[in-house]
Amino acid sequence: MSMIIVATELHVRSFWKFFPFARHASRSMKQAKRSPGIIHAYSTNSGWRIGFTLTAWENKETMMQFRNTGAHKEAMKQISRLSHQYKTLVWEADAVPNWKDAKKKLDKADLRILK
């Protein structure tokens, strides 16, 4: 069964932006876990400055529905205020990758700088 995999990496702008970032991240992950079409939802961090997510979706439509609604939509509106750089990687797979393999793929993706 082919699925859509999404891995993200967000760098928090400053210590003072961490708490609003964490609030948005928590609400977005809660939304993901309850969303139609979700297969897998995982989040982790590297210290307080970098947050990561790994999600797997039944199809692009359910992933886009999540991305464009609710807590995640609100978080996306705040991304340039809370984060100064990020990565998003989307690919198709037949199985949910483990975090180590997904992180290797994410490490090769370009980091986008926000002003």
Q: What is the pLDDT of residues 48-105, one digit of tens each?
A: 999 999 999 999 999 999 999 999 999 999 999 999 999 999 999 999 999 999 999 9
- Euclidean distance between CA atoms 96 and 41, whole angstroms: 10
Q: What is the pLDDT of residue 95?
A: 97
Q: What is the pLDDT of residues 5-27, one digit of tens each?
A: 999 999 999 999 999 999 999 99
- CA torsion angle for 11, 51, 102, 95 (degrees, to 10)? -140
Q: What is the pLDDT of residue 77?
A: 93
Q: Is 80 exceeded by the pLDDT of residue 1?
A: no
CATH for the 3-113 domain, from 3.40.50.1370, 3.30.1330.200, 3.30.70.100, 3.40.50.300: 3.30.70.100
**109 contact partners, CB below 8 Å, separation of at least 6:** 87, 88, 89
Residues facing 43 on adjacent strands: 53
* 41-46 contacts, C-beta under 8 A, 24 or more apart: 42/99, 44/99
Q: What is the pLDDT of residue 114?
A: 84
Domain residue spans of the chain? 3-113
pLDDT bracket for residue 39 (50, 70, 90): very high
Using alpha carbons, list the distances in angstroms from residue 26 to 47, 53, 100, 101.
Answer: 16, 11, 22, 24
Q: Is 90 exceeded by the pLDDT of residue 115?
A: no
